[in-house]
A = this chain, B = another copy of it.
Amino acid sequence: MNFNDFKKDVDLDAVGHEFHRLIAQLYPICRSITGNGVRETLGIINKHIPLDIHNVPTGEKVFDWIVPKEWNIKDAYIKDLKGKKVIDFKESNLHVVSYSKPVKKKMFLKELKEHIFTLPEHPNWIPYRNSYYNETWGFCLSYKQFLEMKDEEYEVCIDSSLEEGELTYGECFLEGERQDEVLISCHVCHPSLCNDNLSGVSIAAFLARHFASMSMKYSYRFLFHPTTIGSITWLALNEAKLNKIKHGLVLACLGDPGMSTYKKSRRGGAEIDQAVAHVLKYSNQNFEIIDFSPFGYDERQFCSPGFDLPIGCLMRTPNGKFKEYHTSADNLDFVHPTSLADSFLKCLKIFHIIENNTTYVNLNPKCEPRLGYRGLYWPSNTQHEPPIEQLSVLWVLNLSEGKLNLLEIADRAGIEFDIIKTAADKLLAQGLLKIKTK
């Protein structure tokens, strides 16, 4: 399989809009770490790809954690004395602090204030807040809405439930030639927020759909789970299989107009780290590669010292680095079909490298072999350097000793992976290379 197969039938402009349509479909749903919002979300994804839905009961012990109660919400509002809803959950599910316990009472603004969160620096935006591990309740308002509230009594209602139930996550497993796995993870616990992380959800879903139609070397496992407790739960339930995971990516914040950012795995020099760096280097775009740190998305768990999996995090603008982050401004206008398509294309290129990154042994290591005799000589103007196809053949021959893989050869040669791979394919066809066996 090569990259052309990967890209086959991929109309980037069309898929960008397709990604955006899925985001738009998922946008209104009020997700949290547990509850029907996640189930509804997984149901929609399941229309695109086969998904195993797992439900883990409240109280289940997962490493140091316990699966929490299930949270559901029907309605919420703040009403003034005239019965007018000044804040209405139906207008934005960000209005309620996620995981708020039920409340229904009258209170004066002075008291209510302690349960209100605003963003004075962006007076039109509603902030996103949650309180998963501290039972409380609250409302998030635009600062403008807050200023309009008067020093009077209000009726406050959050019609939510926090009860024994289940934590839900979805898993799409695509079996490849090998048992070795690539893990792709995204979080599905945020309410109406697009870049963080419906962009990651959408791209993960379409990657799965795309790969499902292909014959892959690695097996691919796509996880759609609530952040932190979701990845912890999955790790706890699948600990025995983790040694199969050879590469992985956490996908988040992939639709904003910013440049690509890659946060390396904790190992720092894993093959996935090299592959992403290579793709970004040859993207002809600005990009940033940052070192691992133990905060951010679920790489925190995958890269905890007990696992130290080779999993990095691909983003555009990272969490906390765009002003719309965790606010109502992270909406459908903030994510662009072109950015989504570009992120998707980079994922294709990354996994194309992972799929094809073979280590070869030069079967004719003493001096160069006769290349012209084998159709591997590109006649050229002798005043200049030979063409890149020629250089690639020479680099692959010179560096194939069973140590460096094709990606490392490409990086050493300063030549894009696919050109190096094409050279290796030709040399293999000519019997000048063999695949390294362990």
Contacts and interface: CB of A to CB of B under 8 A. Distances in A.
Interface string A373-415: 1000101001111100011001101111100000000000100
Nearest to A403: B305
A307 B397 CA distance: 13
A305 B365 contact: yes
B383 A133 contact: no
A47 interface: no
Interface stretch (A204-212, A276-284, A294-302): A294-302
Interface of A: 63-65, 119, 127-130, 133-134, 228, 231-232, 235-236, 239, 266, 293-295, 300-301, 303-307, 320, 325-327, 362, 364-370, 372-373, 377, 379, 382-386, 390-391, 394-395, 397-401, 413
A325 B400 contact: no
Contacts of A134: 372, 379
A295 B391 contact: yes
A397 B367 contact: no
Contacts of A395: 293-294
Nearest to A374: B64
Given A63-B367, A65-B370, 19 more contacts: A64-B370, A65-B367, A127-B382, A127-B383, A130-B382, A133-B377, A228-B368, A236-B366, A236-B367, A293-B395, A294-B391, A294-B397, A295-B386, A304-B368, A304-B398, A305-B401, A306-B365, A306-B367, A307-B367
Most buried by B among A64, A119, A128, A367: A367
A364 B62 CA distance: 12
A245 B14 CA distance: 61
A167 to B, nearest CB: 15
Given A370-B133, A382-B128, A382-B130, A295 B365 contact: no
Contacts of A300: 368, 394, 398
A304 B432 CA distance: 14
B385 A133 contact: no
Contacts of A391: 293-295
A301 B133 contact: no
Nearest to A62: B367
Nearest to A393: B294
A127 B381 CA distance: 10
Contacts of A133: 370, 372-373, 377
13 contacts: A63-B369, A64-B369, A127-B383, A133-B370, A133-B373, A293-B391, A294-B391, A294-B395, A301-B368, A304-B366, A306-B366, A306-B367, A307-B366
Given A304-B365, A320-B385, A394 B295 contact: yes
A126 to B, nearest CB: 12
A325 B382 CA distance: 9
A304 B382 contact: no
B372 A325 contact: no
B294 A398 contact: yes
Contacts of A367: 63-65, 231-232, 235-236, 301, 304, 306-307
Given A370-B64, A391-B295, A320 B383 contact: yes
B386 A305 contact: no
Pick the 8 closest A-B CB pairs, nearest first. Answer: A306-B365, A306-B366, A294-B398, A294-B394, A64-B369, A133-B372, A305-B365, A232-B367
A119 B372 CA distance: 25
A382 B126 CA distance: 12
A393 to B, nearest CB: 9
